Structure 1
Amino acid sequence: MKIAVLGCGLLGTKIAGELAYHGHRVNVWDINIPALNSVFNVLEDDKKHLREDGILFQKNFVGQVLCMSRLEETVSDAEFIFEAVKEDLEIKKDLLERVSHVCKSDAIIGSNTLRLNIDDVMSGVLNKERSLGLRFLYPVYYIPEVEINPASFTAQKSIQKVRVMLERMGKTLFFRSGNHPLILSEEQREERKALRVEQLLNSSGIPCMFEKKIPVLSHDGNVAPIKETRRESTTVDTECGICMNKARDCLLCPCHHMITCYECSKMLHNRRDGCPICRKDITEVIRVYHS
Protein backbone atom coordinates (compact mmCIF):
# COMPACT_ATOMS: atom_id res chain seq x y z
CA MET A 1 0.00 0.00 0.00
CA LYS A 2 1.23 3.52 -0.79
CA ILE A 3 1.38 5.81 2.25
CA ALA A 4 2.71 9.31 2.90
CA VAL A 5 4.04 10.58 6.23
CA LEU A 6 4.39 14.36 6.62
CA GLY A 7 6.97 15.41 9.17
CA CYS A 8 10.11 13.43 9.90
CA GLY A 9 10.72 14.32 13.51
CA LEU A 10 11.29 11.39 15.85
CA LEU A 11 7.61 10.37 15.94
CA GLY A 12 6.98 10.80 12.21
CA THR A 13 10.07 8.75 11.34
CA LYS A 14 9.03 5.94 13.66
CA ILE A 15 5.51 5.94 12.19
CA ALA A 16 7.10 5.60 8.75
CA GLY A 17 9.30 2.78 10.04
CA GLU A 18 6.36 0.92 11.57
CA LEU A 19 4.43 1.17 8.31
CA ALA A 20 7.44 -0.08 6.32
CA TYR A 21 7.97 -2.87 8.86
CA HIS A 22 4.54 -4.16 7.86
CA GLY A 23 5.26 -4.01 4.14
CA HIS A 24 3.96 -0.63 3.01
CA ARG A 25 5.76 1.76 0.67
CA VAL A 26 6.14 5.02 2.59
CA ASN A 27 6.99 8.46 1.22
CA VAL A 28 8.33 10.77 3.93
CA TRP A 29 8.34 14.56 3.56
CA ASP A 30 9.62 17.45 5.64
CA ILE A 31 10.41 21.08 4.89
CA ASN A 32 13.52 20.69 7.08
CA ILE A 33 16.15 19.10 4.82
CA PRO A 34 18.61 18.17 7.64
CA ALA A 35 15.75 16.37 9.41
CA LEU A 36 14.89 14.61 6.17
CA ASN A 37 18.50 13.53 5.76
CA SER A 38 18.50 11.99 9.25
CA VAL A 39 15.61 9.61 8.54
CA PHE A 40 17.69 6.67 7.39
CA ASN A 41 20.05 6.91 10.39
CA VAL A 42 17.08 6.82 12.76
CA LEU A 43 15.56 3.87 10.91
CA GLU A 44 18.84 1.97 10.98
CA ASP A 45 18.97 2.44 14.77
CA ASP A 46 15.36 1.25 15.00
CA LYS A 47 16.17 -1.86 12.97
CA LYS A 48 19.13 -2.58 15.24
CA HIS A 49 16.97 -2.40 18.37
CA LEU A 50 14.23 -4.52 16.79
CA ARG A 51 16.79 -7.17 15.84
CA GLU A 52 18.16 -7.11 19.40
CA ASP A 53 14.64 -7.70 20.68
CA GLY A 54 14.36 -10.61 18.26
CA ILE A 55 11.43 -9.30 16.24
CA LEU A 56 13.22 -8.31 13.03
CA PHE A 57 14.69 -11.37 11.37
CA GLN A 58 15.74 -9.87 8.06
CA LYS A 59 18.18 -7.04 7.39
CA ASN A 60 15.58 -4.52 6.27
CA PHE A 61 11.88 -3.82 6.65
CA VAL A 62 9.53 -5.57 4.24
CA GLY A 63 8.38 -2.22 2.86
CA GLN A 64 10.35 0.78 1.65
CA VAL A 65 10.82 4.32 3.00
CA LEU A 66 11.54 7.07 0.46
CA CYS A 67 12.53 10.60 1.50
CA MET A 68 10.89 13.31 -0.61
CA SER A 69 11.56 17.05 -0.78
CA ARG A 70 8.51 17.96 -2.89
CA LEU A 71 5.13 17.80 -1.15
CA GLU A 72 3.06 17.13 -4.27
CA GLU A 73 5.18 14.14 -5.30
CA THR A 74 5.01 12.79 -1.75
CA VAL A 75 1.21 12.59 -1.60
CA SER A 76 0.14 12.33 -5.26
CA ASP A 77 -0.48 8.56 -5.27
CA ALA A 78 -0.85 7.92 -1.53
CA GLU A 79 -3.91 6.05 -0.25
CA PHE A 80 -3.29 7.18 3.34
CA ILE A 81 -1.61 10.39 4.51
CA PHE A 82 -0.40 10.69 8.10
CA GLU A 83 0.59 14.16 9.30
CA ALA A 84 3.04 14.39 12.22
CA VAL A 85 4.42 17.93 12.06
CA LYS A 86 4.84 20.51 14.82
CA GLU A 87 1.87 20.85 17.19
CA ASP A 88 0.84 24.22 15.80
CA LEU A 89 -2.70 24.80 14.55
CA GLU A 90 -1.86 27.21 11.73
CA ILE A 91 1.01 25.07 10.44
CA LYS A 92 -1.16 21.94 10.39
CA LYS A 93 -4.16 23.72 8.84
CA ASP A 94 -2.10 25.23 6.04
CA LEU A 95 -0.23 22.01 5.29
CA LEU A 96 -3.28 19.75 5.24
CA GLU A 97 -5.30 22.17 3.13
CA ARG A 98 -2.53 22.21 0.52
CA VAL A 99 -2.19 18.44 0.67
CA SER A 100 -5.92 17.88 0.15
CA HIS A 101 -5.78 19.70 -3.20
CA VAL A 102 -2.87 17.70 -4.65
CA CYS A 103 -3.54 14.19 -3.33
CA LYS A 104 -6.08 11.64 -4.55
CA SER A 105 -9.66 12.68 -3.89
CA ASP A 106 -10.33 9.57 -1.79
CA ALA A 107 -7.03 9.47 0.11
CA ILE A 108 -7.52 9.31 3.89
CA ILE A 109 -5.93 12.28 5.68
CA GLY A 110 -5.02 11.76 9.34
CA SER A 111 -3.49 14.21 11.79
CA ASN A 112 -1.34 12.97 14.66
CA THR A 113 -2.30 15.99 16.80
CA LEU A 114 -2.18 15.52 20.55
CA ARG A 115 -4.47 18.26 21.85
CA LEU A 116 -5.66 20.45 18.96
CA ASN A 117 -9.33 20.36 17.95
CA ILE A 118 -9.51 18.12 14.89
CA ASP A 119 -12.37 20.14 13.35
CA ASP A 120 -10.11 23.20 13.45
CA VAL A 121 -7.10 21.29 12.08
CA MET A 122 -9.11 19.99 9.12
CA SER A 123 -11.21 23.12 8.53
CA GLY A 124 -9.63 23.91 5.15
CA VAL A 125 -9.34 20.34 3.83
CA LEU A 126 -11.01 19.44 0.56
CA ASN A 127 -13.48 16.54 0.95
CA LYS A 128 -13.52 16.82 4.74
CA GLU A 129 -15.35 13.54 5.24
CA ARG A 130 -12.10 11.61 4.61
CA SER A 131 -10.16 13.44 7.36
CA LEU A 132 -9.72 12.52 11.03
CA GLY A 133 -7.38 12.56 13.99
CA LEU A 134 -5.14 9.50 14.21
CA ARG A 135 -2.46 9.24 16.89
CA PHE A 136 0.11 6.45 17.16
CA LEU A 137 1.10 5.79 20.78
CA TYR A 138 4.79 5.81 21.67
CA PRO A 139 6.85 3.64 21.35
CA VAL A 140 5.23 3.14 17.96
CA TYR A 141 6.75 -0.26 17.09
CA TYR A 142 5.55 -1.84 20.34
CA ILE A 143 2.18 -0.31 21.24
CA PRO A 144 -0.63 -1.95 19.23
CA GLU A 145 -3.27 0.70 19.93
CA VAL A 146 -3.85 3.74 17.72
CA GLU A 147 -6.07 6.53 19.03
CA ILE A 148 -8.71 7.77 16.60
CA ASN A 149 -10.42 11.13 17.04
CA PRO A 150 -12.99 11.70 14.28
CA ALA A 151 -14.01 15.21 13.31
CA SER A 152 -17.70 16.12 13.26
CA PHE A 153 -17.65 15.61 9.48
CA THR A 154 -15.67 12.35 9.32
CA ALA A 155 -17.50 9.63 7.37
CA GLN A 156 -17.96 6.17 8.86
CA LYS A 157 -16.49 4.62 5.69
CA SER A 158 -13.26 6.57 6.32
CA ILE A 159 -13.03 5.16 9.84
CA GLN A 160 -13.64 1.66 8.48
CA LYS A 161 -10.95 2.07 5.82
CA VAL A 162 -8.40 3.07 8.46
CA ARG A 163 -9.49 0.27 10.79
CA VAL A 164 -9.03 -2.40 8.12
CA MET A 165 -5.57 -1.13 7.14
CA LEU A 166 -4.35 -0.93 10.75
CA GLU A 167 -5.83 -4.27 11.80
CA ARG A 168 -3.84 -5.93 9.02
CA MET A 169 -0.79 -4.56 10.84
CA GLY A 170 -1.94 -6.02 14.15
CA LYS A 171 -3.03 -2.58 15.38
CA THR A 172 -6.23 -1.76 17.26
CA LEU A 173 -8.21 1.46 16.94
CA PHE A 174 -9.79 3.03 20.00
CA PHE A 175 -11.83 6.22 20.23
CA ARG A 176 -10.64 9.13 22.32
CA SER A 177 -12.92 9.54 25.33
CA GLY A 178 -13.64 13.21 26.00
CA ASN A 179 -11.24 16.00 25.12
CA HIS A 180 -8.10 14.51 26.63
CA PRO A 181 -5.69 12.14 24.83
CA LEU A 182 -4.53 8.90 26.41
CA ILE A 183 -1.00 9.31 27.77
CA LEU A 184 0.77 6.13 28.87
CA SER A 185 3.03 6.19 31.91
CA GLU A 186 6.60 4.91 31.61
CA GLU A 187 5.57 1.77 33.49
CA GLN A 188 2.66 1.15 31.11
CA ARG A 189 4.94 1.63 28.11
CA GLU A 190 7.51 -0.87 29.35
CA GLU A 191 4.85 -3.42 30.29
CA ARG A 192 3.17 -3.25 26.91
CA LYS A 193 6.50 -3.27 25.09
CA ALA A 194 7.48 -6.52 26.83
CA LEU A 195 4.10 -8.08 25.98
CA ARG A 196 4.32 -6.94 22.35
CA VAL A 197 7.81 -8.46 21.97
CA GLU A 198 6.54 -11.74 23.41
CA GLN A 199 3.57 -11.64 21.06
CA LEU A 200 5.71 -11.06 17.98
CA LEU A 201 8.17 -13.76 19.01
CA ASN A 202 5.29 -16.23 19.38
CA SER A 203 4.15 -15.31 15.87
CA SER A 204 7.50 -16.51 14.44
CA GLY A 205 8.22 -13.09 13.01
CA ILE A 206 4.93 -12.74 11.11
CA PRO A 207 3.50 -9.51 12.56
CA CYS A 208 -0.17 -10.16 11.77
CA MET A 209 -0.39 -13.78 12.99
CA PHE A 210 -0.58 -13.63 16.78
CA GLU A 211 -0.82 -16.56 19.15
CA LYS A 212 -0.96 -14.60 22.38
CA LYS A 213 -3.16 -11.58 22.75
CA ILE A 214 -1.94 -8.42 24.49
CA PRO A 215 -4.39 -7.10 27.10
CA VAL A 216 -5.85 -4.15 25.22
CA LEU A 217 -6.23 -0.55 26.27
CA SER A 218 -9.59 -0.60 24.55
CA HIS A 219 -12.12 -3.12 23.35
CA ASP A 220 -13.71 -4.05 20.03
CA GLY A 221 -16.79 -2.27 21.27
CA ASN A 222 -14.99 1.04 21.07
CA VAL A 223 -15.30 0.96 17.30
CA ALA A 224 -18.73 1.30 15.75
CA PRO A 225 -19.68 -2.10 14.33
CA ILE A 226 -19.97 -2.51 10.58
CA LYS A 227 -23.37 -3.91 9.60
CA GLU A 228 -21.99 -6.21 6.91
CA THR A 229 -19.73 -8.10 9.31
CA ARG A 230 -20.50 -10.15 12.37
CA ARG A 231 -18.22 -11.54 15.02
CA GLU A 232 -17.66 -15.24 14.73
CA SER A 233 -16.33 -15.48 18.25
CA THR A 234 -18.75 -16.16 21.07
CA THR A 235 -16.62 -14.33 23.62
CA VAL A 236 -17.83 -10.93 24.70
CA ASP A 237 -15.89 -8.19 26.46
CA THR A 238 -17.43 -7.56 29.86
CA GLU A 239 -15.10 -4.95 31.32
CA CYS A 240 -15.89 -1.25 31.14
CA GLY A 241 -14.39 0.22 27.99
CA ILE A 242 -13.14 3.29 29.92
CA CYS A 243 -11.86 2.23 33.35
CA MET A 244 -11.41 -1.42 32.25
CA ASN A 245 -11.91 -2.44 35.85
CA LYS A 246 -15.62 -2.65 36.63
CA ALA A 247 -18.24 -4.59 34.65
CA ARG A 248 -20.42 -3.06 31.95
CA ASP A 249 -23.73 -2.54 33.71
CA CYS A 250 -25.67 0.19 31.93
CA LEU A 251 -27.14 1.28 28.62
CA LEU A 252 -26.46 4.66 27.04
CA CYS A 253 -29.53 6.34 25.59
CA PRO A 254 -30.71 6.87 22.92
CA CYS A 255 -28.18 4.60 21.16
CA HIS A 256 -28.47 1.73 23.71
CA HIS A 257 -24.78 0.82 23.48
CA MET A 258 -23.48 -1.13 26.49
CA ILE A 259 -19.80 -0.29 26.79
CA THR A 260 -19.14 1.21 30.24
CA CYS A 261 -19.82 0.75 33.93
CA TYR A 262 -22.46 2.93 35.58
CA GLU A 263 -19.92 5.26 37.21
CA CYS A 264 -18.08 5.94 33.96
CA SER A 265 -21.36 6.44 32.10
CA LYS A 266 -22.46 9.05 34.62
CA MET A 267 -19.07 10.72 34.23
CA LEU A 268 -19.54 10.87 30.43
CA HIS A 269 -23.08 12.20 30.87
CA ASN A 270 -22.00 14.88 33.33
CA ARG A 271 -19.16 15.97 31.04
CA ARG A 272 -21.57 15.98 28.08
CA ASP A 273 -19.33 13.57 26.17
CA GLY A 274 -20.77 11.35 23.45
CA CYS A 275 -21.11 7.57 23.40
CA PRO A 276 -17.61 6.01 23.00
CA ILE A 277 -18.95 3.83 20.17
CA CYS A 278 -21.18 6.00 18.00
CA ARG A 279 -20.42 9.47 19.47
CA LYS A 280 -24.13 10.32 19.85
CA ASP A 281 -25.09 12.64 22.70
CA ILE A 282 -26.02 10.80 25.91
CA THR A 283 -29.47 11.82 27.14
CA GLU A 284 -29.93 9.13 29.81
CA VAL A 285 -28.07 6.28 31.51
CA ILE A 286 -30.01 3.12 32.36
CA ARG A 287 -28.57 0.84 35.04
CA VAL A 288 -28.55 -2.88 34.21
CA TYR A 289 -28.51 -5.51 36.96
CA HIS A 290 -26.99 -8.86 36.06
CA SER A 291 -28.53 -11.94 37.65
Structure 2
Amino acid sequence: MFKVAVIGASGLLGRAVVRELAVDSAFEVVPTAFRHGGGATRVLDVRDAQAVQAFVDREAPNAIVLAAAERRPDVCEHDPAAARALNVDAVRNVAAAARQHGAWVLSISSDYVFDGTAPPYLADATPNPLNAYGRSKLDGERALLEGADASENALVLRLPLLYGPVSASTSGWHESAVTSLVPAVVASSQPGAPAAPMDAWATRYPTFTPDVAFVIRELLLRCADGEPVRGIAQWSGNEPMTKFDIAERLAQTLGVPARLQAQPAPTDSTPRPRDCHLDSSRLEALGIGRRTPFDAAIRAVIDAFQREGGKA
Protein backbone atom coordinates (compact mmCIF):
# COMPACT_ATOMS: atom_id res chain seq x y z
CA MET A 1 0.00 0.00 0.00
CA PHE A 2 1.22 3.49 -0.87
CA LYS A 3 1.49 5.63 2.26
CA VAL A 4 0.66 9.34 1.92
CA ALA A 5 1.09 11.99 4.60
CA VAL A 6 -1.28 14.93 4.12
CA ILE A 7 0.11 17.91 6.02
CA GLY A 8 -2.50 20.56 6.68
CA ALA A 9 -5.37 18.07 6.52
CA SER A 10 -7.77 20.26 8.49
CA GLY A 11 -7.75 23.06 5.93
CA LEU A 12 -10.04 23.61 2.96
CA LEU A 13 -7.86 21.74 0.46
CA GLY A 14 -6.38 19.26 2.92
CA ARG A 15 -9.83 17.97 3.88
CA ALA A 16 -10.72 17.45 0.22
CA VAL A 17 -7.49 15.53 -0.39
CA VAL A 18 -8.05 13.25 2.61
CA ARG A 19 -11.63 12.55 1.50
CA GLU A 20 -10.50 11.78 -2.06
CA LEU A 21 -7.72 9.41 -0.96
CA ALA A 22 -9.77 7.70 1.75
CA VAL A 23 -12.02 5.99 -0.81
CA ASP A 24 -9.09 4.54 -2.77
CA SER A 25 -7.74 1.31 -1.34
CA ALA A 26 -4.37 1.99 -2.99
CA PHE A 27 -3.55 4.53 -0.29
CA GLU A 28 -2.83 4.55 3.41
CA VAL A 29 -3.46 8.15 4.49
CA VAL A 30 -1.79 9.84 7.46
CA PRO A 31 -3.37 13.27 7.99
CA THR A 32 -1.84 15.97 10.17
CA ALA A 33 -3.23 19.15 11.69
CA PHE A 34 -1.62 22.06 13.48
CA ARG A 35 -3.81 22.07 16.59
CA HIS A 36 -6.52 19.45 16.68
CA GLY A 37 -5.56 15.82 16.37
CA GLY A 38 -7.55 12.76 17.27
CA GLY A 39 -8.32 9.53 15.49
CA ALA A 40 -5.96 9.10 12.58
CA THR A 41 -4.97 12.79 12.57
CA ARG A 42 -1.55 13.59 14.03
CA VAL A 43 -0.74 16.98 15.52
CA LEU A 44 2.22 18.55 13.71
CA ASP A 45 3.66 22.05 13.64
CA VAL A 46 5.26 22.01 10.23
CA ARG A 47 7.40 25.03 11.16
CA ASP A 48 9.24 22.88 13.72
CA ALA A 49 12.06 21.16 11.83
CA GLN A 50 12.69 18.60 14.57
CA ALA A 51 9.01 17.71 14.82
CA VAL A 52 8.79 17.30 11.05
CA GLN A 53 11.87 15.09 11.00
CA ALA A 54 10.52 12.93 13.83
CA PHE A 55 7.15 12.60 12.08
CA VAL A 56 8.69 11.54 8.77
CA ASP A 57 11.11 9.16 10.52
CA ARG A 58 8.23 7.54 12.38
CA GLU A 59 5.68 7.32 9.57
CA ALA A 60 8.08 6.80 6.63
CA PRO A 61 5.54 7.91 4.00
CA ASN A 62 6.05 7.18 0.32
CA ALA A 63 4.70 10.63 -0.53
CA ILE A 64 3.84 13.85 1.25
CA VAL A 65 1.18 16.36 0.22
CA LEU A 66 1.97 19.73 1.80
CA ALA A 67 -1.22 21.76 1.94
CA ALA A 68 -0.45 23.88 5.01
CA ALA A 69 0.16 27.56 4.22
CA GLU A 70 -0.55 31.14 5.16
CA ARG A 71 -2.74 32.06 2.19
CA ARG A 72 -4.16 35.46 3.25
CA PRO A 73 -2.36 38.23 1.34
CA ASP A 74 -3.16 40.95 3.87
CA VAL A 75 -1.87 38.84 6.77
CA CYS A 76 1.33 38.10 4.84
CA GLU A 77 1.81 41.77 4.05
CA HIS A 78 1.51 42.81 7.69
CA ASP A 79 3.63 39.96 9.09
CA PRO A 80 5.95 38.69 6.35
CA ALA A 81 8.21 36.87 8.82
CA ALA A 82 5.33 34.73 10.08
CA ALA A 83 4.22 34.09 6.50
CA ARG A 84 7.70 32.97 5.48
CA ALA A 85 7.92 30.63 8.47
CA LEU A 86 4.94 28.70 7.10
CA ASN A 87 5.28 29.26 3.35
CA VAL A 88 9.07 28.92 3.02
CA ASP A 89 10.80 27.49 6.10
CA ALA A 90 8.18 24.79 6.62
CA VAL A 91 8.53 23.68 2.99
CA ARG A 92 12.27 23.41 3.45
CA ASN A 93 11.73 21.34 6.63
CA VAL A 94 9.46 18.88 4.81
CA ALA A 95 11.74 18.67 1.79
CA ALA A 96 14.79 17.91 3.94
CA ALA A 97 13.05 15.19 5.93
CA ALA A 98 11.45 13.64 2.85
CA ARG A 99 14.78 13.53 1.02
CA GLN A 100 16.23 11.26 3.69
CA HIS A 101 13.47 8.72 3.10
CA GLY A 102 13.13 9.08 -0.66
CA ALA A 103 9.57 10.35 -0.32
CA TRP A 104 7.99 12.30 -3.18
CA VAL A 105 6.70 15.71 -2.10
CA LEU A 106 3.85 17.67 -3.64
CA SER A 107 3.72 21.24 -2.35
CA ILE A 108 0.90 23.66 -3.09
CA SER A 109 1.78 27.06 -4.52
CA SER A 110 -0.18 29.98 -5.94
CA ASP A 111 -0.96 31.93 -9.08
CA TYR A 112 0.18 34.99 -7.12
CA VAL A 113 3.79 34.19 -8.03
CA PHE A 114 2.91 36.08 -11.25
CA ASP A 115 2.18 39.79 -11.66
CA GLY A 116 -1.00 39.34 -13.68
CA THR A 117 0.06 41.42 -16.68
CA ALA A 118 0.50 38.70 -19.34
CA PRO A 119 -1.87 35.74 -18.91
CA PRO A 120 -2.19 32.89 -19.47
CA TYR A 121 0.94 31.80 -17.64
CA LEU A 122 2.78 28.64 -18.61
CA ALA A 123 4.49 26.70 -15.84
CA ASP A 124 7.90 27.94 -17.02
CA ALA A 125 6.86 31.61 -17.28
CA THR A 126 9.02 34.05 -15.31
CA PRO A 127 7.47 34.80 -11.91
CA ASN A 128 7.15 38.37 -10.66
CA PRO A 129 5.09 38.48 -7.47
CA LEU A 130 3.54 41.79 -6.41
CA ASN A 131 3.09 41.18 -2.70
CA ALA A 132 4.56 39.42 0.33
CA TYR A 133 2.28 36.42 -0.11
CA GLY A 134 3.39 35.86 -3.69
CA ARG A 135 7.05 36.31 -2.76
CA SER A 136 6.75 33.82 0.08
CA LYS A 137 5.10 31.24 -2.18
CA LEU A 138 7.77 31.69 -4.85
CA ASP A 139 10.52 31.28 -2.26
CA GLY A 140 8.67 28.19 -1.01
CA GLU A 141 8.80 26.73 -4.52
CA ARG A 142 12.54 27.33 -4.60
CA ALA A 143 12.95 25.80 -1.14
CA LEU A 144 11.31 22.62 -2.40
CA LEU A 145 13.10 22.37 -5.73
CA GLU A 146 16.58 23.67 -4.87
CA GLY A 147 19.25 21.08 -5.56
CA ALA A 148 19.20 18.23 -8.05
CA ASP A 149 18.18 15.62 -5.49
CA ALA A 150 15.16 17.64 -4.38
CA SER A 151 13.88 18.49 -7.84
CA GLU A 152 14.05 14.84 -8.89
CA ASN A 153 11.47 13.81 -6.31
CA ALA A 154 9.20 16.82 -5.87
CA LEU A 155 6.39 18.71 -7.56
CA VAL A 156 5.11 22.24 -7.08
CA LEU A 157 1.41 22.44 -7.90
CA ARG A 158 0.28 26.03 -8.51
CA LEU A 159 -3.39 26.77 -7.92
CA PRO A 160 -5.58 29.88 -8.16
CA LEU A 161 -8.50 30.98 -5.98
CA LEU A 162 -9.91 27.92 -4.22
CA TYR A 163 -13.36 27.20 -2.87
CA GLY A 164 -15.03 24.05 -1.64
CA PRO A 165 -17.09 22.49 1.14
CA VAL A 166 -16.96 24.61 4.30
CA SER A 167 -17.99 23.73 7.82
CA ALA A 168 -20.27 25.70 10.13
CA SER A 169 -18.23 24.29 13.02
CA THR A 170 -14.97 25.95 11.92
CA SER A 171 -14.43 29.12 9.88
CA GLY A 172 -17.70 28.74 8.00
CA TRP A 173 -18.16 30.91 4.92
CA HIS A 174 -14.90 32.73 5.62
CA GLU A 175 -12.72 29.73 4.85
CA SER A 176 -12.60 30.73 1.18
CA ALA A 177 -12.54 34.11 -0.54
CA VAL A 178 -15.41 32.82 -2.70
CA THR A 179 -17.80 31.73 0.04
CA SER A 180 -16.76 34.65 2.28
CA LEU A 181 -18.87 36.84 -0.03
CA VAL A 182 -22.08 35.04 0.98
CA PRO A 183 -22.87 37.09 4.12
CA ALA A 184 -22.42 40.40 2.26
CA VAL A 185 -24.54 39.17 -0.64
CA VAL A 186 -27.34 38.12 1.70
CA ALA A 187 -27.11 41.31 3.80
CA SER A 188 -27.42 43.48 0.67
CA SER A 189 -30.73 41.80 -0.16
CA GLN A 190 -32.40 42.94 3.04
CA PRO A 191 -34.92 45.81 2.81
CA GLY A 192 -33.18 49.19 3.10
CA ALA A 193 -29.69 47.67 3.10
CA PRO A 194 -26.95 49.46 1.12
CA ALA A 195 -25.44 47.85 -1.96
CA ALA A 196 -22.47 45.60 -1.30
CA PRO A 197 -19.30 46.86 -3.03
CA MET A 198 -17.58 44.11 -5.05
CA ASP A 199 -14.31 44.19 -6.97
CA ALA A 200 -14.91 44.21 -10.72
CA TRP A 201 -11.26 44.80 -11.67
CA ALA A 202 -9.33 41.59 -11.02
CA THR A 203 -10.19 38.41 -12.93
CA ARG A 204 -10.14 35.19 -10.91
CA TYR A 205 -10.54 31.54 -11.86
CA PRO A 206 -12.39 29.87 -8.97
CA THR A 207 -11.26 26.27 -8.62
CA PHE A 208 -13.18 23.60 -6.73
CA THR A 209 -11.14 21.79 -4.06
CA PRO A 210 -12.65 18.34 -4.79
CA ASP A 211 -11.42 18.77 -8.38
CA VAL A 212 -7.94 19.65 -7.12
CA ALA A 213 -8.05 16.63 -4.81
CA PHE A 214 -8.90 14.45 -7.83
CA VAL A 215 -5.88 15.89 -9.66
CA ILE A 216 -3.66 15.19 -6.66
CA ARG A 217 -4.93 11.60 -6.42
CA GLU A 218 -4.09 11.08 -10.10
CA LEU A 219 -0.61 12.47 -9.48
CA LEU A 220 -0.14 10.17 -6.49
CA LEU A 221 -1.22 7.15 -8.53
CA ARG A 222 1.44 8.00 -11.12
CA CYS A 223 3.97 8.28 -8.32
CA ALA A 224 2.92 4.92 -6.91
CA ASP A 225 3.38 3.43 -10.39
CA GLY A 226 6.95 4.71 -10.51
CA GLU A 227 6.20 7.59 -12.89
CA PRO A 228 6.17 10.68 -10.65
CA VAL A 229 5.54 14.09 -12.16
CA ARG A 230 8.36 16.46 -11.19
CA GLY A 231 9.13 20.16 -11.26
CA ILE A 232 6.20 22.56 -11.64
CA ALA A 233 2.63 21.90 -12.75
CA GLN A 234 -0.51 24.04 -12.64
CA TRP A 235 -4.22 23.45 -12.37
CA SER A 236 -7.02 25.97 -12.69
CA GLY A 237 -10.72 26.35 -13.22
CA ASN A 238 -11.56 27.75 -16.64
CA GLU A 239 -14.38 30.18 -15.84
CA PRO A 240 -13.06 33.76 -15.55
CA MET A 241 -14.89 35.88 -12.98
CA THR A 242 -14.40 39.04 -10.97
CA LYS A 243 -15.61 39.11 -7.37
CA PHE A 244 -18.61 41.03 -8.68
CA ASP A 245 -19.36 38.16 -11.07
CA ILE A 246 -18.94 35.61 -8.28
CA ALA A 247 -21.29 37.58 -6.03
CA GLU A 248 -23.93 37.68 -8.78
CA ARG A 249 -23.68 33.90 -9.20
CA LEU A 250 -23.93 33.42 -5.43
CA ALA A 251 -27.06 35.58 -5.30
CA GLN A 252 -28.63 33.51 -8.07
CA THR A 253 -27.80 30.27 -6.27
CA LEU A 254 -29.09 31.56 -2.94
CA GLY A 255 -32.19 33.00 -4.58
CA VAL A 256 -31.81 36.43 -2.98
CA PRO A 257 -32.29 39.87 -4.63
CA ALA A 258 -28.80 41.12 -3.84
CA ARG A 259 -27.84 44.74 -4.48
CA LEU A 260 -24.22 44.80 -5.65
CA GLN A 261 -22.00 47.74 -6.56
CA ALA A 262 -19.24 47.04 -9.07
CA GLN A 263 -15.87 48.59 -8.21
CA PRO A 264 -13.92 49.09 -11.46
CA ALA A 265 -10.61 49.94 -9.77
CA PRO A 266 -8.64 48.05 -7.11
CA THR A 267 -9.33 49.09 -3.52
CA ASP A 268 -7.25 46.56 -1.53
CA SER A 269 -4.39 47.96 0.53
CA THR A 270 -2.27 44.95 -0.46
CA PRO A 271 -1.42 44.98 -4.18
CA ARG A 272 -2.94 42.11 -6.13
CA PRO A 273 -2.39 40.96 -9.71
CA ARG A 274 -5.15 41.64 -12.24
CA ASP A 275 -5.24 38.31 -14.11
CA CYS A 276 -3.01 35.33 -13.28
CA HIS A 277 -4.72 32.71 -15.38
CA LEU A 278 -2.69 29.52 -15.04
CA ASP A 279 -2.13 27.34 -18.09
CA SER A 280 -2.99 23.73 -17.16
CA SER A 281 -1.76 22.09 -20.36
CA ARG A 282 1.02 20.03 -18.75
CA LEU A 283 -1.45 18.02 -16.67
CA GLU A 284 -4.05 17.97 -19.42
CA ALA A 285 -1.47 16.41 -21.75
CA LEU A 286 -1.04 13.62 -19.19
CA GLY A 287 -4.79 13.02 -19.13
CA ILE A 288 -5.04 14.45 -15.62
CA GLY A 289 -7.78 16.87 -14.63
CA ARG A 290 -11.41 17.49 -13.78
CA ARG A 291 -13.47 20.67 -13.72
CA THR A 292 -16.88 20.90 -12.08
CA PRO A 293 -18.94 23.82 -13.45
CA PHE A 294 -18.99 26.67 -10.93
CA ASP A 295 -22.77 26.85 -10.61
CA ALA A 296 -23.06 23.14 -9.85
CA ALA A 297 -20.15 23.18 -7.41
CA ILE A 298 -21.25 26.26 -5.47
CA ARG A 299 -24.78 24.86 -5.25
CA ALA A 300 -23.37 21.71 -3.67
CA VAL A 301 -21.28 23.77 -1.23
CA ILE A 302 -24.20 25.95 -0.15
CA ASP A 303 -26.64 23.05 0.16
CA ALA A 304 -24.20 21.02 2.29
CA PHE A 305 -23.49 24.00 4.56
CA GLN A 306 -27.17 24.68 5.09
CA ARG A 307 -27.90 21.00 5.77
CA GLU A 308 -25.27 21.18 8.49
CA GLY A 309 -27.22 24.01 10.10
CA GLY A 310 -25.08 26.89 8.87
CA LYS A 311 -26.67 30.21 7.95
CA ALA A 312 -25.62 32.99 5.61
**Fold shared by both chains (TM-score > 0.5):** no
Question: Scaled by the length of structure 1, what TM-score is found?
Answer: 0.39
Question: Scaled by the length of structure 2, what TM-score is found?
Answer: 0.37
Structure with greater helix percent: 2
The higher relative CO (CA closer than 8 Å, separation ≥ 6) is in 2
